[in-house]
Amino acid sequence: MVPLRFHAHVAGRFRCQLVLQSWRDIRVHLLEAVVTAEGGHAQLEFTTPAHLSVTQDIPLINESSQDWRLRGLVSGCGFYGPLVVYIRAGEKVCYPLTFRPTTQSIVTGRLSLLNDTDGTEHSFTLRGVGERSLPLDHVVLHCSVRQVTHSTLQVPNYSQHPLTCQVVSDLSIVSGPPTLDIKPGHTVPYTVSVSPWKRGKHTGTSFSLFLSLSLSLFLSLSLSPSLALSLSLCLSVSPSLSLSLSVSL
């Protein structure tokens, strides 16, 4: 038995030859040692409005002499990342981890990067905060007192389920179809009719859509005998969909 001692300063694959020689025999042994690094663990937190994406590039450095093949295992609603990443020896590659929440909520997840070359695993605990969504659009309508003005709103369904939306209004000057059906991943137009018939200021919630998608419309009207008025419409999605509408002369 020949005692051997091997000490590696970095992770990687090392090869060498061991030659045993005597006056009547020579034997050559090929030795290969695979050194793995200690697996790392970290925590990442993402914050973004609902339906908007935020991406964190995780730097990965291959200091070994072998090319790496890393498999990415991502869990948690709203987290996405590549399934496989290749890193050549001595190079640096970033793993893009994306968080895109569909609702206003807090979710947790996990990312595991498995190195098929040296057998190591780097894991990350994920926490994602989906905030109230930003406005999708801003529409300006020009209408006149005692005349009906129509506006078409594009109502999206970001979920994976069909939605049957019931529309409820507490403003007599705003009207539209009582229901709205939206297929998964589709956008359906909805026509709103505004018929200001007297001066004054009117406020209220115009729309409420049920089934995980809620649509609300806030309307503020300030009318005078003058015919011309400007109507400002703001559409936003927050765990669901909300509309903000203000009217000024």
Q: Which two tokens mark 45?
A: 């937190």
The three-point CA angle 174-133-59 to 5° equals 165
Tens of pLDDT, residues 98-130: 999 988 889 999 999 999 887 888 899 999 999
CA dihedral 146, 147, 148, 149 (to 10 degrees): -120
Tokens 């005998």 locate to 225
Would the pLDDT of 135 be above 80? no
Tens of pLDDT, residues 200-239: 555 554 444 444 333 444 444 444 444 444 443 333 333 3
Nearest to 107 by CA among 41, 161, 50: 50
> Confidence band (pLDDT; 50, 70, 90) for 54?
very high
User: b/e per residue, 11-49, with b = 16+ CB within 10 A?
Assistant: bbeeeeeeeeeeeeeeeeeeeeeeeeeeeeeeebebebb
Strands 121-131 and 41-49: parallel
CATH class of 43-131: mainly beta
Query: What is the per-residue pLDDT for 32?
Result: 82
pTM: 0.59
Helices (H), the chain: none
Residue 182's alpha-carbon distances to 102, 141, 235, in angstroms, are 16, 25, 17
Single-letter residue type at 5 = R
Q: How far apart are CA 228 and CA 248, in angstroms?
A: 10
Single-letter residue type at 103 = T
> Confidence band (pLDDT; 50, 70, 90) for 240?
very low
Bridge partners (DSSP) listed for residue 246:
220, 232
Query: What is the per-residue pLDDT for 226?
Result: 40
CATH architecture of residue range(s) 135-212+241-248: Sandwich (2.60)
Domain boundaries, the chain: 43-131, 135-212+241-248
User: What is the average pLDDT value for the chain, to the nearest integer?
Assistant: 76
The answer to whether the beta carbons of residues 69 and 151 sit under 8 Å apart is: no
Would the pLDDT of 52 be above 80? yes
Check the CA dihedral 170-172-175-177 and report its sign. positive
DSSP single-letter state for residue 65: S
Query: What is the per-residue pLDDT for 149?
Result: 82
Query: What is the per-residue pLDDT for 39?
Result: 58
Domains 43-131 and 135-212+241-248 share a fold: yes
Q: How far apart are CA 94 and CA 220, in angstroms?
A: 49
Query: What is the per-residue pLDDT for 11?
Result: 65
> Confidence band (pLDDT; 50, 70, 90) for 139?
low
Tens of pLDDT, residues 152-211: 888 888 777 788 777 777 677 778 888 888 888 889 898 888 887 766 555 554 444 444
